Amino acid sequence: MKKILVTGGLGYIGSHTVVELYEAGYETVIIDNLVNSRIDALDKLKELTKKDITCYIGDCRDKELLRKIFKENEISGAIHFAGLKAVGESTTIPIDYYDNNIGSTIALLEVMKENNVKRIVFSSSATVYGTSQEVPLKETTSLGATNPYGRTKLFIEYILKDLYKSDNEWEIAILRYFNPVGAHKSGLIGERPNGTPNNLVPYIAEVAAGIRPFLRVWGNDYDTKDGTGVRDYIHVSDLANGHVLAIKQLDKVHGLLIYNLGTGIGYSVLDVVKAFEKASNMKVPYKIFDRRPGDIAVCYADPTKAKEEMGFVASRGIDEMMEDHWRFQKNLYIKK
Ligand code: NAD
Ligand code: UFG
């Protein structure tokens, strides 16, 4: 059976997608350089899928390694997760972001082309909508990016569009993720941020666990129901399933497809705090701080296109997201 190459497959979204792919009957080969993941994720994936998954530890910018992977495996296409993803960090080390995110994509596309494998699913982000306040965000909303990380995503989208224009044998799905949270039901895989978490839910989890004294709520003077920022949180397993549906969609519709992957529901920071407290039965003290530079008030998806065209529905609600997130985090802290 041909395999799907999953770059960054030991990371947060990649690992959940590998599980969903095996559940749907696909097989995978992983490449990951462990810059933001740990090798034990591979053992967990083998445990969850009961398969001996092939994984190459190395850099996706390394074309010789990619050639070796294509030589040693029959590859039908790639899902490209590998990349750096922290907005704040990207403003301090922009070259690393451009080099890694764009460099890995170019290397991958070149080696795919050499092997006449022309199917790719790319991890884009709602960040490509920039500061647009036109919610809900549709795939047709105008694009823009406000930081180096966002610009890498936007540039890669343009690279893929240009590639498709030059050769329409390519089959490309650009998936724009909203805010992934939660973890696999088993509690075996989830997000393990290095250092101080920037994102809301990982930070809240550390407050609930007593690692940090309180949550800093970045602003309560936005034009939202309680003044705090509103986002579209999506369970990582629902998001992962979106990749399986995108692969199936590319079987049916050969072309360049762009989909938002979100729930279409916006929750405020304080909604999330409340849901997390309920799920964990722990207190999450918080203090209000000034707005975080670059944040927008409200960001949520119009998920209609993904639903109508490929049957994508993010069915897990906020309570389940928080319960699953906490189950994984709690296990980590207990084992420490
Ligand atoms: P993650 O950091 O958990 O996973 C990325 C994986 O790629 C890691 O395992 C890392 O070690 C690996 N990696 C990075 N650079 C590599 C390279 N050059 N070669 C090989 N492996 C490399 O991040 P994630 O949350 O799973 O995100 C996956 C993708 O989705 C990223 O491209 C990210 O930008 C995008 N995305 C994430 C979010 C989010 O909030 N998590 C939102 C929108 C888009
Ligand atoms: N927030 C706090 N305190 C914190 C962290 C976050 O109040 O300690 C607030 C933010 O101000 C925002 C909301 O919680 O209102 C969500 O913030 P996150 O940092 O969790 O997520 P963002 O929406 O800012 O960004 C995330 C990813 C980006 C991605 C974007 C859209 O970090 O990479 O979602 O997909 F582009």
The DSSP bridge partners found for residue 172 are 120, 256
Identify the nearest ligand to the CA of 13 by its number.
Answer: 1
pLDDT-derived band at 293, boundaries 50, 70, 90: confident
The answer to whether the CB of 11 falls within 8 A of the CB of 3 is: no
Which of 16-30, 264-278, 286-300 is predicted least confidently? 286-300
The CA–CA distances, whole Å, from 112 to 106, 120, 160, 161, 292 equal 10, 9, 13, 16, 40
Q: ∠ CA 245-20-280 to the nearest 5 degrees?
A: 115
Protein residue with its CA nearest to atom 39 in ligand 1: 180
- Strands (E) across 143-226 are located at 171-177, 179-181, 215-218
- Strands (E) across 8-158 are located at 28-32, 54-57, 75-80, 119-125
Identify the nearest ligand to the CA of 239 by its number.
Answer: 1
- Closest of 127, 182, 153, 195 to residue 16, by C-alpha: 182
The answer to whether the CB of 247 falls within 8 A of the CB of 4 is: yes
Ligand 1 site residues (CB inside 6 A) read 7-8, 10-14, 31-37, 59-61, 81-83, 85, 100, 104, 123, 125, 177, 180
The CA–CA distances, whole Å, from 122 to 4, 24, 173 equal 13, 19, 6
Protein residue with its CA nearest to atom 41 in ligand 1: 180
Identify the nearest ligand to the CA of 11 by its number.
Answer: 1
For the chain, percent of residues with pLDDT exceeding 90 = 92
Asked about 12 being catalytic, the answer comes back as: no
Place of tokens 């082309």: 113
Residue 117: count other Cβ atoms within 10 Å of its Cβ.
18
Structure confidence by residue, pLDDT tens digits, 146-170: 999 999 999 999 999 999 999 999 9
Both tokens assigned to 250:
């590319």
Catalytic residue among 12, 22, 149, 267: 149
Question: Cα–Cα distance between 250 and 86 in angstroms, integer?
Answer: 30
- Strands (E) across 294-335 are located at 298-299
pLDDT-derived band at 335, boundaries 50, 70, 90: low
- Look up residue 126 and give its DSSP letter: G
Residue of 13, 87, 97 to mutate, ligand 1, most atoms within 8 A of C-beta: 13
Cβ of 86 below 6 Å from ligand 2:
no
Cβ of 203 below 6 Å from ligand 2:
yes
**Structure confidence at residue 334 (pLDDT):** 61
What is residue 327's three-state secondary structure? helix
Question: Cα–Cα distance between 298 and 222 in angstroms, integer?
Answer: 9
Q: What's the first-to-final CA gap in the chain, in angstroms? A: 40
Distance 218 CA to ligand 2 centre (A): 10
Question: Cα–Cα distance between 109 and 276 in angstroms, integer?
Answer: 41
Residue 48: count other Cβ atoms within 10 Å of its Cβ.
20
Distance 281 CA to ligand 1 centre (A): 31
Structure confidence by residue, pLDDT tens digits, 176-213: 999 999 999 999 999 987 788 989 999 999 999 999 99
The closest-lying atom of ligand 2 relative to the alpha carbon of residue 85 is 33
Distance 218 CA to ligand 1 centre (A): 25
What average pLDDT does range 292-302 have in this prediction?
93
pTM as predicted: 0.97
**Structure confidence at residue 336 (pLDDT):** 47
